[in-house]
Structure 1
Amino acid sequence: MTASASDASLDVKLDAILARRDEIGALMNDPSTAATGGGFAELSREFAELEPVVDRVHAYRALLAEKRDLEALLDDPEMRELARTDLEAVNARLPEVRHELQLALLPKDAADDKSAIVEIRAGTGGDEAAL
């Protein structure tokens, strides 16, 4: 898969996430959802899970837009040096922001929000094992 194909598939996924967040927001604002008990708590939970991802999507897309604007400024002789400096900074931040976005897109484990009981016992080995 080429870089542009992976970017296109990422854009499709990001658009779907943004659309789902908007859909959930509209359902939560609909008075009939709360009145009929239409799973408002579940919608609220899903909205809260999507919000950090949406924040990263907006940050990533803002950085891409800034990069496009700076690349357009490279044609202007008066702004070329300033644009080149800013473009280097944007290009340095872009992989980090994209990586954070990809981490946010990873599916959560169902057990992540559940409690766990961990029992720690002393092993064999004398007094040191019982510390």
Structure 2
Amino acid sequence: MLKKYALKMGIGMKKIHLSTNEKEYKEGHIIEGGIKFFGGLIPQKIRRYDIDLIACNQKNDKEEIVRSHSVFCSIPVQPNEQKETVFTLEIPSANEMNSQDNDYYIQANFMLDHKLEQSVRVAVKISPLATM
């Protein structure tokens, strides 16, 4: 019971690592990456996760979700266990995005067993397609 209270306070939660196969992508291409789950103090289940491509405008400090993908699941993760899954996310074409003054991030949001949410974010560079 003490472990569940510690978990609700964020102590002993599972760790999540998000990575992409490349650091730079072109508009209209596909981002591929992986998610690693590391077990915490008690067994938990990942009930849902969302992978978002977020544009952060440097001038006005606003964030916008450009693309999103949700996965409903039931992934059990035992203490000290490690699991892995992959994801893909399509980058919009140039006419769908305003890439000037934007930084881009892939953010993964996780809904766990006990209604706890965790988020992890990694920066990616998106450059325009070369015009001929």
* TM norm. shorter chain > 0.5: no
RCO higher in 1 or 2 (8 Å CA, sep ≥ 6)? 2
TM-score, normalised by the number of residues in structure 1: 0.21
Point out the structure with the larger strand share: 2
TM-score, normalised by the number of residues in structure 2: 0.21
Point out the structure with the larger helix share: 1
Give the structure with higher Rg (CA). 1
